Amino acid sequence: MAPEKPPHNYAAIGAIQRIIGPRFPEISAKMPKRRTPIQKPEKALDASSGKRGRGRPQKIQRSWVTGRARNYRQMLTKVWPELAGPLLAAETEEQIIAAFEKHSQPYAGDFVPRLAREILALIHASNFPIRPKARIGFLADSLAGMPTIAARTARDICAKHRANERANERVKSPHKIIRKEFYIECSCGYKGPARDSACRKCGAPIPMDLGIFWGNRGLF
């Protein structure tokens, strides 16, 4: 015969439920939905809050471009008589590198091999100038911002910089100094500005001895 199962004490279970129930009400299986969903931040935390000016974002300072273009222009001007022939005849990057390494020392490292591909494209461009001076300027300005700035943009930056310099020159006085005089004290008793590098009273010339020039106060 199967063993008898012990009788269930339903009264005790009911009493426990009455004790626990009021303290721990039933929890719904479904969590309530969030009324206001979490919004993702529109900007990164480290993004700058300042507003950028008009135009494309500046990748490199313009002064760096114009300064480098000036240096490139000086370098190419010095080596162009020997470099021009082999460079303009080059058809590959290897020939560009060879031309610079052989005919543009000690400046070859400033151009090749880093800019060999760009130089090859520039010398074969349809707008590459004909005159030597213009070719030097074209290459110098075009390469000044590479690889960060495109050749056309770099040329525009340099052209605008030169235009501003010319405008500033025009703003200056149109007159020029044609004579300089010094304040002198002559043994004849005259004190005041000289005239044609001489004493206005007696005509004694101002000595050109540097010791006298630097030894007397008031001459400059």
What are the structure tokens assigned to 28, written together?
A: 């719904």
Cis peptide before 147 (omega within 30 of 0): yes
Please give the DSSP secondary-structure letter assigned to residue 184.
Answer: E
Cα–Cα nearest to 140, from 158, 164, 162: 158
Domain ranges in the chain?
62-171, 183-215
Q: How far apart (Å, rounded) are the C-alpha atoms in residues 72 and 118?
A: 14
Average pLDDT, the chain: 76
Q: What sign has the CA pseudo-torsion 22, 23, 29, 33? A: positive
Is residue 216's pLDDT more than 90?
no
Cα–Cα nearest to 61, from 165, 149, 166, 167: 149
Is residue 8's pLDDT more than 80?
no
Least confident range from 56-60, 191-195, 208-212: namely 208-212
Condensed to tens digits (0 to 9), the pLDDT of residues 148-195 reads: 889 999 999 999 999 988 887 777 767 777 777 778 888 999 988 888
Q: State how far the alpha carbon of 89 is from the alpha carbons of 95, 98, 99, 103, 167, in Å.
A: 9, 12, 9, 13, 39
Is residue 61's pLDDT more than 70?
yes
Condensed to tens digits (0 to 9), the pLDDT of residues 23-54 reads: 544 444 455 555 555 554 444 333 333 454 45
* The predicted structure's pLDDT at residue 39: 52
* The predicted structure's pLDDT at residue 112: 95
* The predicted structure's pLDDT at residue 58: 52
Average pLDDT (11-15) is: 50
Condensed to tens digits (0 to 9), the pLDDT of residues 78-130 reads: 999 999 999 999 999 999 999 999 999 999 999 999 999 999 999 999 999 99
Q: Kindly report the backbone phi and psi dihedral angles of residue 196, in degrees, each rounded to the nearest multiple of 5, phi listed first.
A: 55, 45
